[in-house]
Amino acid sequence: MKNAGKPVRRTVKSAEETKETEELRQARQELERQVAQLRAILDSLTEGVVVSDLEGQLFHWNPAAIAMHGFVSLEECRRKLPQLVETFELTTVEEGVLPLEKWPLARILHGETLCDWEVGVRRRGTEWQRVFSYGGTLARDKDGQPLLAVVTVNDVTERKRAEAALREATEKLHFALDSAQLGTVEFQTATGEVSWDERSRVLFGLPAGEELPYAEALQLIHREDRQRVDQQVQAALAPQGDGNFAAEYRIILPDGTVHWVITKGRVSYAGEGTERHAVRISGVHLDITKFKQMEEELENYRRRLEEMVVQRTAEFAEANEKLAEEIAAQEKTEAALTLRATILDKAGAAIFLINPRGDFVYVNDAASRVYGYSADEFLAMNLRELLREEAAVVEGRLQEISEQGHLAMETVHLRKDGAALPVQVRYDLIKTRHGAFIVSVIQDLRRKP
């Protein structure tokens, strides 16, 4: 009986360690769930996000990034960076076709931080091409060591097209003004009269054939722009002027609507030297309301895009920080789990962790040595299968353990090869926040002195 007491003391210690091991396993599962939630957040972003390891293996693309690049599945995207050269050609206005070492991910892997870098992307062998705005940086751990490379992608193709359309419209506008094919206006300085052709009268909402004195014509201009335009007119009329006149301003039509007008003109002078004076201003009018609206819409779009980029960058930075913290916590948890499992595996007694149904959820190395089953075989078994000839009484034992909280006995088990195995067995019921479990410690009586 003196010798029989020693295994019992070791049994209590091993049970506590087994409890800690199970809790750590549950904690690791919870951590994996949280990482999955974080990935779900990244996948919900409308901004493209691509994550690579430090060797250039692109292992995660969120759905937005997959769609932007014309892929249909994540597996299709999981490639090494050099493999993408077979699919895409990248160009910039300044450098033309970019070599691989100047691609966004390559620059980030070399330690650069990118923000709003616009790059043309074309699929080789097709007419598919877009303009992407790239950003990104290296994700680092708490010690500043790089862990991953993260690339953000925004499709700015439509904005670039809008900008190009605006430039084209502006060029056409300048051509129309220079050719004087639009509504005309003339201001006679001697009489102070301002006259328009019919197209200009329609533009300003004037009756057909009407002419106005300069002071009344000035009242057609929006009151917020009126003084500025008058100053520009007076500057153009100055004898020392260069003869050019141009002004953009708002007018209010009789129906109350506000329109933008641009007027370009040329001053005619008479006399020489100190006798030089302005005689008239001849010019053309153009309604640029639509262009102004386009400029405003484009500015609003640019502002919204900048706000979105700032918001998405902040969200990504927060998500990246959480991911780094969770990775560090997981590594710490796994290290502790490995240490405790190693301690249990060094124990001389066979140790089992069984759920209330009798399924094995953990066995140490000694159990495999004593019974001849591998750990994987144990985890696929039930206590009833192990006891074999005693299987009929297993239900009663499990019930007794559930009611009493423990059970100890000396009995004979069978090894995998069928050999009889005299053992001393102790069962203890433990309750954790993850449920109830049975810890079984088996002492091989053949090893008694």
What is the secondary structure of 55-97 as a DSSP string?
TSBEEEE-HHHHHHTT-S-HHHH--BGGGGGGTEEEEETTTEE
Domain ranges of the chain: 165-287
Which pLDDT value is given to residue 342?
Answer: 55
d(CA 99, CA 106) in angstroms, rounded, equals 10
Q: Is the Cβ–Cβ distance between 140 and 146 less than 8 Å? A: yes
Q: Is the Cβ–Cβ distance between 263 and 255 less than 8 Å? A: no
In 10 A of CB 299, how many CB atoms? 10
Q: Is the Cβ–Cβ distance between 186 and 194 less than 8 Å? A: yes
Which pLDDT value is given to residue 181?
Answer: 42
Which pLDDT value is given to residue 110?
Answer: 94
Q: What is the pTM of this model?
A: 0.38
3 state SS of 348: coil
What kind of fold does domain 165-287 have according to CATH?
Beta-Lactamase (3.30.450)
Which pLDDT value is given to residue 27?
Answer: 67
d(CA 220, CA 99) in angstroms, rounded, equals 58
Per-residue pLDDT of the chain (449 residues; tens, 9 = 90+): 455 555 545 445 566 667 667 777 776 776 666 657 666 776 778 899 999 999 999 988 999 999 999 999 989 889 999 999 999 999 999 999 999 999 999 999 999 999 999 999 999 999 999 999 999 999 998 899 999 999 999 999 999 999 888 888 767 755 654 454 478 888 888 888 888 888 888 888 888 877 888 888 888 889 999 999 999 888 888 888 888 888 899 988 888 889 998 888 888 888 888 888 888 888 888 888 888 888 888 888 888 888 887 887 787 778 777 866 766 665 554 554 454 555 555 567 889 889 888 899 889 888 888 899 998 998 898 888 887 656 667 888 888 888 888 889 888 888 888 888 898 999 898 887 778 889 989 888 886 54
d(CA 361, CA 352) in angstroms, rounded, equals 8
Which pLDDT value is given to residue 284?
Answer: 85
Cα separation values, 262 from 94, 172, 182, 243, 443, Å: 34, 14, 11, 17, 100
